[in-house]
Structure 1
Amino acid sequence: MADLLTFGLLSLSSLLIIVNPLAVALIYVSLTDTMEKADRLKVAYDANRVALFVMLTFAIAGGLILQLFGISLEAFRVAGGILLFGIGMEMVYAKTSRTKMTATEKYEGIDTDDVSIVPLAVPMISGPGTITTVIVLMNEATDFGIYAYALVFFLCPFVIGINYYMMKNADIITKYIGPREYRVIGRLMGILLIAIAVQFVITGLRTAFPILIGGL
């Protein structure tokens, strides 16, 4: 039970940090500031609905996709850890991760009528980092049984629910959290994400090379 609780806390923190609802809310405000309130709420709903669909799709089919391309779980854990490490470093240095949204995508999003799918749902909410995290967590769940799988499936809509709530209340949030506060929070979350990423890499290397890691 203790191991399952630890896995649950790791899964929750990983998904919250990589989705980063605060950053999404701030980007959402900048992309929808000229819209009517009803249209903005529809954008928030559609973006989170699509993002949840993407997350659950890869939670279910991620393992099959790896098998299809002949990618081992250990290789994906290491690769995923490196990707998350890079995202964490960008957060520490207060940069918007290029795996979430490029400058071009943000510029094109401002000029388009529908920003819910691109760039908000993909790649802002459910980008490569989120997809990688979901697949790794689902494969990590094999060590803990059916309850761990159910936990990851529950946490996906739970995190999306938090993200949707923050997007709906983005105007209020931006009154209290300015650029300086956001950078401080972002750096702290980046440090945590780096630690999680390193743990993913260690787990992958320990499984693939038990002698080198000393995991005999």
Structure 2
Amino acid sequence: MNSIFISILLHDIIALITIINPIAAASIMISMISPPTASAIADVARKATLTVFAASFVTLFGGEVVFQFFGINIYSIKIIGGIILMLIAINMAYGHGAKNRHSPEEAQEAQEKEDIAIVPLGIPILFGPGVIATIVVLSHNNSSQLHPALSYILLSIAILIASLATYLTLRYASIINKALGVTGIKILTRIMGLIVGAIAAQFLISGIKGLWEA
């Protein structure tokens, strides 16, 4: 039981971190903060992380309820979630990172606002449709292997760890950017894109199989 728990927990943590992709978001954050002082970066990192953390828990405990209210079954969510993640993975594989997660209008609004931590950095650059679909699907998959209460606890821990990783990445964005450089960030983004693509393929196959057998 412990090995299964650890295996699922690690899978959930890796899935959330790669889909949130804080590395790519960190470089965008630096470009949006003017001037990128240490105090400004720390403040934005804290607010953006709290936004992701809160939105993740709202999705975990309310996302599936909303979908059920509209009569959308989990297999349909897996398919559309898989398609969204696959598009994200393709962008990441080409080194585009998180820049396509927000519209030009949101980017323009961010330049005009003093605080860009919540929009567009927190939502939708860090927390977008792909993360919503991932949390709902992971919750359903975990419940099929574990007790529902244990499933929620496990995914809550994964969200907490992913949020902490996001905060540390954003908090030390300047150091990470200097250490990796543009080339390093693009290489890492492409590797993460492959992981997101594999998760997307799992979602798609599981969703199509479920609808076929239903």
Does the TM-score normalized on the shorter chain lie above 0.5?
Answer: yes
Correspondence for 1:159: 162
Contact 1:85–1:198 (8 Å) recurs in 2: yes
Q: Does 1:192 align with 2:195?
A: yes
Correspondence for 2:11: 10
Shift of 1:114: 0.9
Separation in 2, partners of 1:6, 1:74: 23
Separation in 1, partners of 2:163, 2:56: 10
Correspondence for 2:175: 172
Contact 2:75–2:211 (8 Å) recurs in 1: yes
Q: Does 1:92 align with 2:77?
A: no
| TM-score, normalization by structure 1 | 0.90
Among residues 138, 150, 153, which one is paired with 1:150 in the alignment? 153
Separation in 2, partners of 1:193, 1:37: 31
CA deviation map 1:60-118 (0-9, x unaligned): 00110111111001111111011101100110011245662233322331231010110
- Structure 1 stretches lacking a partner, 5+ long: 212-216
Correspondence for 2:210: 207
Correspondence for 2:42: 41
Correspondence for 1:72: 73
- Structure 2 stretches lacking a partner, 5+ long: none
Contact 2:60–2:139 (8 Å) recurs in 1: yes
Contact 2:110–2:116 (8 Å) recurs in 1: yes
SS for the counterpart of 1:70 is coil
Separation in 1, partners of 2:42, 2:98: 25
Deviates more, 1:106-115 or 1:53-62: 106-115
The residue type equivalent to 2:89 in the other structure is G
Separation in 2, partners of 1:208, 1:3: 27
Contact 1:78–1:201 (8 Å) recurs in 2: yes
SS for the counterpart of 1:209 is helix
Separation in 2, partners of 1:41, 1:23: 17
SS for the counterpart of 2:72 is coil
CA deviation map 1:114-139 (0-9, x unaligned): 10110111001111111111111111
| TM-score, normalization by structure 2 | 0.91
Deviates more, 1:79-88 or 1:33-42: 33-42
Contact 1:100–1:124 (8 Å) recurs in 2: yes
The residue type equivalent to 1:189 in the other structure is M
Correspondence for 2:123: 122
Percent of paired sites with the same residue: 27
Contact 1:85–1:193 (8 Å) recurs in 2: yes
Contact 1:22–1:166 (8 Å) recurs in 2: yes
